[in-house]
Amino acid sequence: MDSSSADLIPLFEPRGVAVIGASHDPSKLGYALARNLMTCGYSGAIHLVNARGGILFEQHLYSSILQVPDPVDLAVLLIPAPGVPEVLRQCGKRGVQVAVIASSGFRELGPEGAALEAEILQIGRQNKLRLLGPNCIGMVDTHYPLDITFLPPPSPLPGELAFLSHSGAICAAIIDWTRTQGFGFSRLISLGNQVDLNETDMLAPVAAEPATRVITLYLESLPDGRRFVQEAGKITRQKPVVALKVGRFASGQRAAASHTGALAGQESAYDAAFRRAGVVRAMTTEQLFDWARALAWCPLPTGRGMAVLTNAGGPGVTAADALEANGLCLADLQSETITQLSQILPPAASLHNPVDMLAGATPEIYAECLSLLLADQAVHGVLVILPPPPMHPAEAVAQALIPVIHSATKPVLVALMGEKLIQSAASQLRAAHIPEYRFPERTAAALAALHQRAVMLSQTEGPPIYSVQRIIAQTLLVNAPAGFLSAELACSLLEAYGLPISPVRLAQNAEEAAEFAQELGFPAVLKVASPDILHKSDVGGVLLNLIDAQVVRQGFESITASARYHLPQAFIQGVHVQRMLPAGQEVILGALQDPQFGPLVMFGSGGVEVEALKDVAFALAPLTPADADYLLDQTWAGRKLNGFRNLPPADRKTVLETLFRLSQLALDFPQLAEIEINPLHVLPAGHGAFALDVRIRKT
């Protein structure tokens, strides 16, 4: 059930809250929940409900939600799971609009709990009652304020980060950890089993909260991936979203017959989905919050060139390596900057990037050198390294850097190395909202996250639309049976969408093969035609560079005999005949329908070793120009199209157009479960490309 921000006003700005299951016993979670709500500073009406009645926190305990007076638009349930359905019916009758179900004992326990979960969802829909949970710890809003969790105090510090989590335990740990890290949360929401409200529902209302500058996500799955991509794509244009998707290695292999299907694991789909939505994907919990702090507190860089400012050579080299490993580079400092640095640094200092001021650098030297680097037009951001200086306290250096960083329009992140000797400096930087990390590697990764967002925001071009013969393609498919299409039908389908095809003929005998080769032109290529043979080269089913009719006749007999020898049960339709093309580069293009995110497009190194090389990348359809460039830039096959050693530049423009047209075909016909062109034979620049082998599976 889709959600609007208006639906969730009673969750985020309730006029009255009822705690159902409030307990007198301090050892019970119901006591902790009531305590947190009573002490968080919430200014609305608070109603405590317990069937036994009594007094708690000097408030009367109502025996039922039906007895609670106005106003009450939000209920928090912490009662045994079997009692939840009846209490939800009462909530609906009472006019409650949102219920947070903190109770456990649902889907996480098995089929019986899943049935109970289905029942409460039905009750919610019947009563226009939105549900958060079950099996969650609730929500904290530090600015409203509102705390409807049962977590032990203290509550999280107020801050600019929102945190949406599929795990309640992670919420508890993160709150405790962040209190020592100098940053806090605007909203923290535990989603639990997500019987109704999920992470996608929460994106818009959380982003609309003025105090929230960055949204962070801890995800275990995305059942409605397409909707998430659509909604997150809107939000990331307004505010950064950083996600940690766990369970990366738990999924089994995708059952598929093509290289594309075999190589497109679940994580390839998530990577493509996050990239399309503009979501920055973290791989660790530490990265999640390292990057979120940088995105909340720093301006974005306008390029990849970074400067490193250090008082020690080793950490500077470490930083340089880390920047390059994260897709950034060391800026080439302008001669004017180098001259100015030479006037304030000792002769032994290194004036070229990384700038090593040497161990005696004073707080004033740190600040002056940072100002010079920030003024350099080639520098798009600065990584400052500050181990405990031998001559000056680290906090004195931090104090000198803060005003320079605050006045900068470029990001400055600090690798504050050490522990005890840098604690005061860390406190100063945190209070000033300047991101600091213990080692250069973490700092460089955070700078890369800033650059990734800057690049995403600069990409505004939508997918190109080509003129295609969709009606013809639809007609071709209407009577096609499920399974792999014939090579002739597959080629006709690609031709309808303007994909470059090398003409192919199906020969039933050797004489026919020779005639077709004569018609198409020599030299010729022969490939065994069989729905039962997926990889033709493995059974001797491909012959190349056949120069005349007699060699083609012999090749026909050789191919069919070899195929029957290796796979006696295979149905041999005949042999496909094509013309041998001039030398070129071979790449693979593919598309498949992902159950969560829709059509995925693949590009990479083609030929017989595609699965061994695994030089492939994926993007969601429809492809934008940025997506297509990513596919080529991310793979050796794509980079090689620009030329390499004795290889001349290949026709990259045709490859890009072929990718766009393939993306359009996969998007227009969801019944095409897998499409694969392997190889696409790419000729030198300006001479085009041709699909030599095509496999299309229809559901």
In-domain check, residue 631: yes
Using DSSP's 3-state secondary structure scheme, residue 370 falls into: helix
Q: What angle do CA 628, 631, 635 make, to 5 degrees?
A: 150
pLDDT confidence band for 264 (50 / 70 / 90): low
Asked if 281 contacts 243 with a C-beta cutoff of 8 angstroms, the reply is yes
Separation of alpha carbons 257 and 651, rounded Å: 29
In-domain check, residue 221: no
> Both 551 and 634 in a single domain?
no
Residue 647 CA: distances (Å) to CA of 127, 299, 690:
68, 42, 18
pLDDT at 543: 94
Beta bridge partners of 98: 74, 130
> Both 53 and 201 in a single domain?
yes
Residue 2: pLDDT over 70: no
pLDDT at 389: 85
| Residue ending a domain, choose from 212, 245, 274 | 212
Beta bridge partners of 591: 601, 675
Separation of alpha carbons 541 and 608, rounded Å: 12
- Tens of pLDDT, residues 184-194: 999 999 999 99
Beta bridge partners of 187: 141
Residue 74's contacts (CB-CB under 8 Å, 6 or more residues apart) are 10, 11, 14, 16, 17, 18, 96, 97, 98, 99, 100, 148
Using DSSP's 3-state secondary structure scheme, residue 242 falls into: strand
User: What is the span of the domain harbouring residue 121?
Assistant: 5-212
> Both 81 and 17 in a single domain?
yes
> Both 417 and 490 in a single domain?
no
In-domain check, residue 279: no
Separation of alpha carbons 178 and 188, rounded Å: 12
Question: Comparing C-alpha atoms, which of 595, 585, 576, 603 is closest to residue 693?
Answer: 576
Residue 257: pLDDT over 50: no
In-domain check, residue 270: no
CATH of the domain at 181: 3.40.50.720
Residue 681: pLDDT over 80: yes
| Residue ending a domain, choose from 529, 554, 579 | 579
- Tens of pLDDT, residues 605-625: 987 667 677 899 999 999 999
> Both 554 and 596 in a single domain?
no
> Both 627 and 568 in a single domain?
no
Residue 261: pLDDT over 70: no
In-domain check, residue 223: no
Residue 545 CA: distances (Å) to CA of 496, 526, 583:
29, 9, 11
Give the CA-trace dihedral at 380, 384, 385, 390, to 10 degrees. Answer: 150
- Tens of pLDDT, residues 58-72: 999 999 999 999 999
Using DSSP's 3-state secondary structure scheme, residue 585 falls into: strand
In degrees rounded to 5, what are phi and psi of residue 577? -115, 130
CATH of the domain at 372: 3.40.50.261
> Both 419 and 542 in a single domain?
no
CATH of the domain at 668: 3.30.470.20
Q: Which residues of 499-525 are buried (b: 16+ CB within 10 A; e: fewer)?
A: bbbbebbbbeebebbbbbbeebeeebb
In-domain check, residue 230: no
Cα 491–chain centre separation = 34
| Residue ending a domain, choose from 164, 182, 212 | 212
- Tens of pLDDT, residues 642-679: 998 888 999 999 999 999 999 999 999 999 999 999 99
Using DSSP's 3-state secondary structure scheme, residue 410 falls into: coil
In-domain check, residue 347: yes
Counting the structural domains of the chain, the total is 4
> Both 594 and 529 in a single domain?
no
Dihedral sign from CA coordinates of 605, 608, 613, 617: positive
> Both 589 and 574 in a single domain?
no
> Both 57 and 72 in a single domain?
yes
